[in-house]
Amino acid sequence: MVREPASHSVSGAIDGLDAVEAVEVADPLVPVVAGVDVCGTKVRAALREPGGRIVAESTVPSAPLRSDPATGIGDLVRGLVSRATVLTAVGVGLPGVVDQRRGTVSRCPAFPGLAGVDIRSRLAEEVGVPTAVDNDANAAAWGEFRLGGHGSDNLALLALGTGIGLGAVVDGRLLRGAHGAAGEVAEVPLRVDGKRQPTESVASVAGLLQARAWRDTARVRELIADAERGDPPAVRAVEVYADAVADALLAISGLIDPGVIVFTGGLGVRGVVVRNIVRSLPANIAASITVSSLGERAPLLGALELATDLLPPAVEALSG
């Protein structure tokens, strides 16, 4: 059974995340953690008090940060903290592979200057507190696991949008692998017309449009709308896309046996896409399938959870 997208509220959440800034009155005696969601087009940050009240949020374009992301993120966090109280930890989700042993980044096309950089140490120096950095899909999965109410210690989050990404929680712990690259499902090979190709060549916006013989990425909304109306060429394009995603899901299910599979992303929350993926899966698949409870806020809220995990037990207990 598939649950369609639903609204979700978080204690103290501020409406209008895409506004430049939203601030509540913070208690100057209460410590806060910061979460940062780094996207290809924008960077979002928030401060949260123990107990879950978000007291400040800010969104800025990512372009000015590309030359020096660590300094830019540090400036963004400091700008929020100056209006609040004592910062205790920072969590960051970014679109790249993060080696948790070294804190270094690889495979980050949106920010190529981060390749090989120890971003965790750089950010810790910028903000002066313990800092956690992880892949954005991992952050989203951690947010859904902690706050999404999915009721399973084994969760696979599949982010479907421009490309395809996976964040996985296994037995209550994030699955990262030896080099932080666990779950890089985009690279999993598929057989397409007898040739081996990466999953993302089909399970992506570009692949979806190619199946419709279109190239302009601005037309993806039109294609989805056409498919919702039953237009045969658009429906077939979605079916090709869904088959590729379903093949990736079967591989994921065989490897990590998730109790719940969560879809997110611009395509992952569209009913026609999810329904066709489910149709392509075996009827006896063990995992329940649903859509994100946190929506586009999942990486940001997950980053806040990553920051909370860095706190000493006595402080972390206040957040329970």
Q: What is the DSSP annotation of 162-208?
A: SSEEEEEEETTEE---SSS-TT-GGGSEEEETTEEEEGGGTSSHHHH
User: Does domain 2-141+297-319 correspond to CATH entry 3.30.420.40?
Assistant: yes
What is the predicted pLDDT for the residue at 298?
96
37: nearest Cα among 209, 203, 194, 159:
159
CATH number for the domain formed by residue range(s) 150-292: 3.30.420.40
Count Cβ atoms below 10 Å from residue 262 Cβ, excluding itself: 30
d(CA 118, CA 98): 9
Nearest to 165 by CA among 252, 102, 63, 41: 252
The pTM of the full predicted model, rounded to 2 decimals, is: 0.87
Q: How far apart are CA 156 and CA 167, in angstroms?
A: 6
Indicate where the chain has its CATH 3.30.420.40 domain(s): 2-141+297-319, 150-292
Q: Are 167 and 174 in contact (CB under 8 A)?
A: yes
68-71, long-range: CB < 8 A, 24+ apart = 68/113, 69/38, 69/94, 69/111, 69/113, 69/114, 69/119, 70/117, 70/119, 70/122, 70/123, 70/125, 70/126, 71/126
Residues 6 or more apart whose Cβ sits within 8 Å of residue 57: 14, 17, 21, 22, 23, 44, 45, 46, 47, 80
Q: What is the pLDDT of residue 228?
A: 96
Sequence letter at residue 255? L
Cα separation values, 262 from 43, 222, 273, 316, Å = 23, 25, 13, 27
pLDDT values of the chain reduced to their tens digit, one per residue, 320 residues: 444 433 332 333 333 333 445 555 556 668 899 999 998 889 999 999 988 999 999 999 988 888 888 889 989 998 888 765 789 999 999 999 999 999 999 888 888 888 888 999 999 999 999 999 999 999 999 999 999 999 999 999 999 998 999 999 999 999 999 999 998 888 888 877 778 888 899 999 999 999 999 999 999 999 999 999 999 999 999 999 999 999 999 999 999 999 999 999 999 999 999 999 999 999 889 899 999 999 999 999 999 999 999 998 645 555 55
pLDDT at 190: 81
Cβ contacts of 218 within 8 Å, gap of 6 or more: none
Listed in sequence order, the DSSP H helices in 4-157 are 69-81, 119-127, 136-147
- Angle at CA of residue 144, ends 138 and 150, nearest 5°: 135
**Pairwise CA distance, residues 115 & 80, whole Å:** 27
pLDDT of res. 16 = 32
| Cβ-based burial of 37 (10 A; exposed 0-12, middle 13-18, buried ≥19) | buried
Tell me if 6 sits within 8 A of 293, measured CB to CB.
yes
CA distance 89 to 194: 50
User: What are 246's two structure tokens?
Assistant: 């379903």
CA distances (Å), 290 to each of 4, 148, 163, 277, in order?
7, 11, 19, 12
**Helix ranges, 26-68 (H):** none
Q: How far is CA 87 from CA 84, 255, 297, 315, in A?
A: 9, 39, 21, 12
* Partner residues linked to 167 by β-bridges: 157
Please tell me the predicted confidence (pLDDT) of residue 27: 64
DSSP 228-247: HHT-HHHHHHHHHHHHHHHH
